[in-house]
Amino acid sequence: MAEFFRLDGKVAVVTGGGQGIGEAICRRLAGAGAKVGVLDLSQANASRVAADIGGVALVGDITKETDLSRLFGELEARFGSADILVNNAGVASRKGRDLPIWELVREDWEFVFNINVVGLALCCKAVLPKMIERRFGRIVNIASIAGKEGNPKMGPYSASKAAVIALTKSLSKELVGKGDICVNSISPAVIQTPILEQLSSEQINMMLSKIPLGRTGKPEEVASLVHFLSSSECSFTTGQCYDISGGRATY
Ligand SMILES: NC(=O)c1ccc[n+]([C@@H]2O[C@H](COP(=O)([O-])OP(=O)(O)OC[C@H]3O[C@@H](n4cnc5c(N)ncnc54)[C@H](O)[C@@H]3O)[C@@H](O)[C@H]2O)c1
């Protein structure tokens, strides 16, 4: 039987690839044949995952353009330029700052938007000139159900993920006529990863209570959807936001 969704010969970068959902995505894409750059703030985690999958650890901060030019240079020297970018690095809030909007300060907004939106856009900018030159690319942006529904006490996070969904749509339209380049986003509900340590148990229980399937999702379930969206077979879908929320989203 023919094998589908193979990624042999493709080079992928996964931001926040050192743990959680990003780690599962790295493992899945490498399992399908891709050469993977594991980009993360954490040297230990990026190196651990890269060593396991025969990838390259790219250690740095997605909000810093100097880091990004160094990291994408390292990727190119080792494997070539990126065919696939998975923008997964993200934060829920500053620790202990899941508060109503009237109690937030400017730094709460800037912290979340700088990573979830500005850093993500800078990563797109880092890979797109080469994708356009080679007329091929896949970008998958990890948004959130919070970006569709707006979770209470998660104002900056919800707004940042709505921005990711809209940015995906804008970018997909800007790329029309520039080759086989597709840009999509996904919106997970609660997935069991260390990001939940940034939130109170009350907040997590509220989010869990809204999931009809009655459980948290697994990073591997997210990775399988990202795998399809990263593949050459996903060639007639762009600008979309795919749901992976155990039934929470009805649109
Ligand atoms: N876990 C969930 O319930 C859930 C639900 C919906 C969406 N998401 C989204 O999925 C993505 C991954 O979440 P996760 O749960 O695996 O989180 P996580 O906290 O377990 O992992 C995030 C990774 O991103 C890295 N990172 C953070 N800031 C960075 C930066 N500036 N530069 C480079 N790396 C950075 C961290 O070091 C970490 O390894 C995030 O965008 C998150 O918003 C998660």
pLDDT attached to residue 3: 85
Cα(247)–Cα(211) distance, integer angstroms: 6
Q: Which amino acid is at 3?
A: E
- Closest C-alpha among 99, 195, 87, 182 to residue 141: 87
Distance 63 CA to ligand 1 centre (A): 14
Residue nearest to atom 2 of ligand 1 (CA): 191
Distance 202 CA to ligand 1 centre (A): 20
CA atoms within 13 A on the CB side of 196: 19
Token readout for 228 is 């399809």
**Strand segments (E) across 72-155:** 84-87, 136-142
Element (H, E) at 175: none
Domains of the chain: 11-244 (3.40.50.720)
Cα(181)–Cα(209) distance, integer angstroms: 37
Phi, psi values for residue 56, rounded to 5°? -125, 135
Distance 16 CA to ligand 1 centre (A): 6
Atom of ligand 1 nearest to the CA of 90: 41
| Opening angle at CA 8, ends 21 and 164, nearest 5 | 35
- Closest C-alpha among 31, 66, 26, 71 to residue 45: 26
Answer for the pair 199, 98: CB distance below 8 angstroms, yes or no. yes
Residue nearest to atom 23 of ligand 1 (CA): 16
Cα(76)–Cα(130) distance, integer angstroms: 11
Distance 186 CA to ligand 1 centre (A): 14
Q: Which residues of the chain have pLDDT under 70?
A: 1-2
Ligand 1, pocket residues at CB < 6 Å: 15-16, 18-22, 40-42, 45, 61-63, 88-91, 115, 119, 142, 144, 188, 190-191, 193-195
pLDDT attached to residue 60: 98
Against a cut of 0.95, is the pTM above it? Answer: yes
Atom of ligand 1 nearest to the CA of 195: 19
Residue nearest to atom 42 of ligand 1 (CA): 90
pLDDT attached to residue 250: 79
Cα(240)–Cα(186) distance, integer angstroms: 8
- Closest C-alpha among 171, 189, 180, 174 to residue 240: 171
Atom of ligand 1 nearest to the CA of 89: 24
Catalytic residues: 157
